[in-house]
Structure 1
Amino acid sequence: MSLPQHTDATLRYQQQVENSRNYVLPFIMQEFPDLNGLRVMEIGCGEGGVLTPFLEKGCRCVGVDLFPERIELAKGFLGDYVNNGQLQLIAKNIYDVDFFGEFQHAFDIIILKDAIEHIPDQDKLVAYLKELLSPRGQVYFGFPPWYMPHGGHQQICQSRVLSFLPYIHLLPRPLYRGLLKAFGEHDGTIRELMELVDTGISIERFEKIVKAAGFDITQRKYYLINPIYKYKFKLQPREQFGWMKGIPFVRNFFTTCMYYMIRPKRGN
C-alpha cells in the first residue's frame, strides 16, 4: 500500500517543509548559526520543500533535480522566490560542464536529503561536491542506512503486506525480485527497488567514502526513529541509544536515519 504522499505532491511538499524546518534546519544551524545570505543548493530537490525554510531564513538557493516535472512542481510552490531572484530551479545533471562552470566553488551549504541512497558512483559524487563548495562550505546528508528495517524503500509497494514488512530488501536478489512479482508489484516499482539494492549505503561505507574523498565529519546524528516516520507510520522521532551508536555494522539494522555534516579537510 503506497502512502498518500507518494501520489499527492502538495502533501509531500508540506511534509518536506515541516521535516526540514523542525529537524534538518536546526541540525545544519549547529554549523551555520546565521544563515542569512548564504548560498545553498539541494541536489534532488523534488518539490522544493526542504529548501523552503532556508529561503525563509534569507538564503539564496538553487534546487537541482533530474526530473523536469518535479522542477515544475517546485516552481508552482515556490514561484515567488523564483520571481524575486532568491531561488533558481534547474532540471539538469550536476556533472554537466555548464553547470560546473556556473557553480564551481559557489555554495556554502549543499543538501542531499534522502538522495545519496539513490545515486550510483557515490565515491565520485562525494569527491565532486568538494568542487562546488565555497571555502567555508559544508555538505549535509540525510539517508536511511541500507540494512535498517525499511532501507530498501519497500514502503512504496502497492501491497500492504510488503510495504510494512521489514528487512525483505536484504533477501538474495532473485528471491527479493520473485517476492515483489508474486505480490503483483508494477514493473516500474520493481525496477526502482532493485536499483536500490545496488545503491543503498551503510553507515560504515558512507564514512569510508567521506574519509577517502578528503572530508571531515563535523556533525552526525543517529535516529532510532526517523523524523519522516511521523508522516509514514505516525511514530514520534527518537534519537538512537548511545550504546547502539558504538556497535559497528549492527547499528545499521536499528538506525533508521543518519544526519551528517561534512567539510573538506583543511588544506584539501
Structure 2
Amino acid sequence: MSLPQHTDATLRYQQQVDNSRSYVMPFIQREFPELKGLRVMEIGCGEGGVLTPFLEAGCRCVGVDLFPERIELAKGFLGQYIDNGQLQLIAKNIYDVDFFGEFQHAFDVIILKDAIEHIPDQDKLVAYLKNLLTVRGQVYFGFPPWYMPHGGHQQICGSKFLSFLPYVHLLPRPLYRGLLKAFGESEGTIKELMELVDTGISIERFEKIVRTTGFDITQRKYYLINPIYKYKFNLQPREQFGWMKKIPFVRNFFTTCMYYMIKPSAETKG
C-alpha cells in the first residue's frame, strides 16, 4: 500500500523536517553541541527536509542527490537559504572529480539518512567519505537493518497485504520476485525492491565496514520502533531494549533503525 508521502512531496518534506529536528539533529549534537557555522553535507538529500533544521540553526549546508527532479523540489522548499548563500544544492555524483576538487576536507558533518542501504559498494563509499571531512569531521548514518521486519522497504508495495507483511524480503530471491509479480507489483517497484536485496545492510556488516575503512564509532543508538514510523504507521518511537542490543545478529530482526556517528581513527587521519 503506497503511503501518502510517497506521492506528496510537500508532506514528505514536512515529515523529514520534523524527524530531523526531533531525532537526527539531537543525536548529532551529542558530538557537535554548537551548530552555528558548522559545515554540513547530506548525501541523498531529496527534498531537503533533513537539512532544514540545520539551516535554521545557522549551519552552512550542501545537499547532493543523483536525481535532478528532487533537487528542483528542494530548491522550491529552501530557496531563501540558497539566496542568502547558506545552501548549495547539487545534482551530481560525489565521486565526480570536480566535486572532490571543490569539497575535499570541507565538511564537519556528513549525513546519510536512509541512504546507505540503497548504495552499492558500501565499503568504497565509507572509505571515500574520509576525504571530504575536516579534521574534526564525523559522519552520521541512519538506516534500517536488513533483517528487520520491513528492512526490504516493502511498504512501497501497491499491495496492502505485501506492504504490511513482515520479513517477506528475506525469502529466496526467485520466490520473492515471483511473489511480487503474483501480487501485481509494477516492474519499477520490483526492480527497486530487488536492488535492496543486494544493498541492504546489517548491523554487523556496517560495523565491520566502519572498522576496516579506518573509522571509530563515537555514538550509536538502536530503535525498537523507528522514529519515521510515527508518520508511516502512527507508532511512537521507542529505543531498543538493553538486553536485545547485546545479542549479535538476532538484534537485527527486532531493531527497526540504527543511528551512528563515526569519525576517522586517529592513526588513519590525513
Which of the five TM-score ranges fits, normalised by the shorter chain?
over 0.9
User: Could you tell me which amino acid in structure 1 is paired with residue 115 of structure 2?
Assistant: A
CA offset at residue 77 of structure 1?
A: 0.2
Listed one character per residue, the Cα deviations across residues 212-238 of structure 1 (whole Å, up to 9, x for unaligned) are 000000000000000000000000000
Listed one character per residue, the Cα deviations across residues 188-241 of structure 1 (whole Å, up to 9, x for unaligned) are 000000000000000000000000000000000000000000000000000000
1:143 aligned onto 2:143? yes
User: Could you tell me which amino acid in structure 1 is paired with residue 201 of structure 2?
Assistant: I
1:153 aligned onto 2:153? yes
1:122 aligned onto 2:122? yes
Query: Which whole-Å CA distance do the structure 1 matches of 2:186 and 2:65 have between them?
Result: 24
CA offset at residue 267 of structure 1?
A: 2.8
Aligned to 1:99: 99
Listed one character per residue, the Cα deviations across residues 100-120 of structure 1 (whole Å, up to 9, x for unaligned) are 000000000000000000000
RMSD over aligned Cα atoms = 0.3
Aligned to 1:23: 23
Query: Which whole-Å CA distance do the structure 2 matches of 1:209 and 1:74 have between them?
Result: 31
Aligned to 1:90: 90
Q: TM-score scaled by structure 2? A: 0.99
CA offset at residue 246 of structure 1?
A: 0.2
Aligned to 2:59: 59
Aligned to 1:265: 265
Query: Which whole-Å CA distance do the structure 1 matches of 2:91 and 2:85 have between them?
Result: 17
Query: Which whole-Å CA distance do the structure 1 matches of 2:173 and 2:4 have between them?
Result: 28
Query: Which whole-Å CA distance do the structure 2 matches of 1:57 and 1:248 have between them?
Result: 37
Query: Which whole-Å CA distance do the structure 1 matches of 2:164 and 2:82 have between them?
Result: 39
Query: Which whole-Å CA distance do the structure 2 matches of 1:59 and 1:267 have between them?
Result: 29
Q: TM-score scaled by structure 1? A: 1.00
Query: Which whole-Å CA distance do the structure 2 matches of 1:79 and 1:254 have between them?
Result: 40
User: Could you tell me which amino acid in structure 2 is paired with residue 104 of structure 1?
Assistant: Q
Query: Which whole-Å CA distance do the structure 2 matches of 1:267 and 1:116 have between them?
Result: 25
- The unaligned stretches of length 5 or more in structure 1 are none
Aligned length: 268
Aligned to 1:43: 43
Matches within 5 A, 1:1-268: 1-268=1-268
For the residue of structure 1 that corresponds to 2:32, the secondary structure is coil
Percent of aligned pairs with the same amino acid: 88
User: Could you tell me which amino acid in structure 2 is paired with residue 113 of structure 1?
Assistant: K
Kindly report structure 1 stretches of 4+ aligned residues shifted beyond 6 Å: none
